[in-house]
Amino acid sequence: MRIATFNINGIRARAEALPAWLDDTSPDVVLLQEIKSVDESFPRDLFEDRGYNVETHGQKSFNGVAILSKLPLEDVTRGLPGDDDDEQARWIEATVVGDTAVRLCGLYLPNGNPVPGPKYDYKLAWMERLKSRAEALLEGEEVAVMAGDYNIIPQAEDAARPDAWTEDALFRLESREAFRRIVNLGFTDAIRARVQAPGVYSFWDYQAGAWDRNDGIRIDHLLLTPQAADLLADCGIDAEVRGRTKPSDHVPVWIDLNA
């Protein structure tokens, strides 16, 4: 089962590029971030026509997450637990049953800039809630994947110019420590389980020719519970998508699970 995460930076803007990538690679499950659409406006037909079931958790103009799946999606929940006043659509969960049941968690972690400020405080508070949900997944010993745009550069090796990011909310020590606390509960960062070399990126800014200069960062991650990591067969990043017509600034990151 191939499970991909892809921050598409607007579903309307990606109405051609996203289906083209689906037709190329035919993933079984796709966790989308930044759909920038309410549920009623999401172009479900684009995906249902290709055999995908669609579940969305949208919001006007900003944020918004969704799941596409060739297999039925069960037990869908929307919103990260822990703050009933949180209006931002950044979390969706569902279970897909192949050879085994896989709990899918799609997330769009807050950017957090500028630092300091309320947006940074929100990011850190959101990560505390994420940690609580992660602990519950581990306690359940589930085959589970938490995947999405984490807006975290885990290590210096994950940025072409780490020195430029030292005080940024994506890379400053406090942010990275919060991410490490979650990973260190027992999760496997799928890409880093296979690739230790630097220079592996999932985002290139639209500005200043970042793609042409390979000035990238790795911020889109798939974290696996031990039960999911045992089923990991392969993983990769479809970086060439960034060089196509009218691309998102992120590219798809995927895993193949024996599930």
Partner DNA sequence: ATGCCTCCCCGAGGGAGA
| Contacting positions for DNA (CB under 7 A) | 7, 9-13, 34, 36-37, 60-62, 110-111, 113-114, 119, 149, 151, 164, 168, 170, 203, 205-208, 210, 215, 217, 219, 246, 249
For DNA, the closer CB: 56 or 227: 56
For DNA, the closer CB: 50 or 213: 213
Report residue 168: phi and psi, to 5°: -80, 150
Nearest approach, Cβ of residue 117 and DNA (Å): 10
Active site residue 150: no
Single-letter amino acid, residue 191: I
Report residue 61: phi and psi, to 5°: 75, -40
Nearest approach, Cβ of residue 46 and DNA (Å): 13
Nearest approach, Cβ of residue 98 and DNA (Å): 30
Cβ partners under 8 Å of residue 69, min gap 6: 28, 29, 30, 52, 53, 55, 94, 96, 104
Cβ partners under 8 Å of residue 225, min gap 6: 137, 138, 141, 142, 143, 144, 145, 186, 187
Nearest approach, Cβ of residue 17 and DNA (Å): 9
Full DSSP string of 138-203 = HHTT--EEEEEE-----SGGGBSSGGGGTTSTTTSHHHHHHHHHHHTTT-EEHHHHH--SS---SE
For DNA, the closer CB: 27 or 64: 64
- Determine the 3-state secondary structure of 238 from DSSP: coil
For DNA, the closer CB: 33 or 188: 33
Question: Which member of 52, 108, 150, 201 is catalytic?
Answer: 108
For DNA, the closer CB: 61 or 184: 61
Nearest approach, Cβ of residue 87 and DNA (Å): 13
Q: Is the peptide bond before 226 cis (omega within 30 degrees of 0)?
A: no
- Determine the 3-state secondary structure of 45 from DSSP: helix
Active site residue 86: no
Question: Which member of 28, 149, 220, 249 is catalytic?
Answer: 149
Catalytic residues: 108, 149
